[in-house]
Amino acid sequence: MNLLKERILAEGSAKSENILKVDGFLNHQVDPVLMKNIGEEFASHYKNMGITKVVTIESSGIAPALMTAMALEVPMIILKKQSSKVLNDTLYQTVVTSYTKGNSYELSLVPEYINENDHVLIVDDFLADGEAATGAIRLLRMAHATIAGVGILIEKSFQPGRKKLEEQGFHVYSLVRIASLSEGKIQFIEEK
């Protein structure tokens, strides 16, 4: 997606060989026009796959997932990273390790909003090691939902996330694929 590539080049910053900072339009400040375009792109790609829900992990995936759900005219589900005192013991839960933050957290899904009749699209901001997406998949399987695919805004293709997901049989559609962040330079994989 050229619009997203342009924003990454203009405002993104390679903080290390593994970390890309995109706070100005995605992770801290959100550009709603860009998110609308992203949602429309995912919706166009997945439009004939019978998706009934879009699922994301809080928090940076919420804006693109919401716009995707809006374009597909289906509900969006947010997987929570923190347990709430108002939530009950019937949650589906799994532990996920964050590559970027270097810590583990418990990911939760409220079962009343998803079931075996749902065909789900997972949308997330980054794909690195594939741990977040794999955690989401584990929760969706607990609910007996099926997974249409995984939509990623920015894939770090030099890390094993895509391979892990594809080896499990999941369709991964990334809007931008980063080949390298070495020496502070952002290099893309050019799709054919």
Distance between CA 69 and CA 63 in Å, rounded? Answer: 10
Q: Is 130 labeled as ligand-binding? A: yes
| Helix (H/G/I), strand (E/B), else coil: 137 | helix
DSSP category for residue 80: B
Name the amino acid, one letter, at 192: K
Largest CA distance in the chain: 49
DSSP category for residue 25: I
Q: Which tokens in the block code for residue 1?
A: 């997606």
Q: Is 115 labeled as ligand-binding? A: no
Torsion angle (degrees, nearest 10) of CA 14, 17, 19, 25 = 30
Q: Is 156 labeled as ligand-binding? A: yes
Q: Is 129 labeled as ligand-binding? A: yes
Q: Is 132 labeled as ligand-binding? A: yes
Residue 51 φ/ψ, nearest 5 degrees? -70, 135
Q: Is 20 labeled as ligand-binding? A: yes
Known binding residues for xanthine: 20, 27, 156
Known binding residues: 20, 27, 128-132, 156
Known binding residues for 5-phospho-alpha-D-ribose 1-diphosphate: 128-132
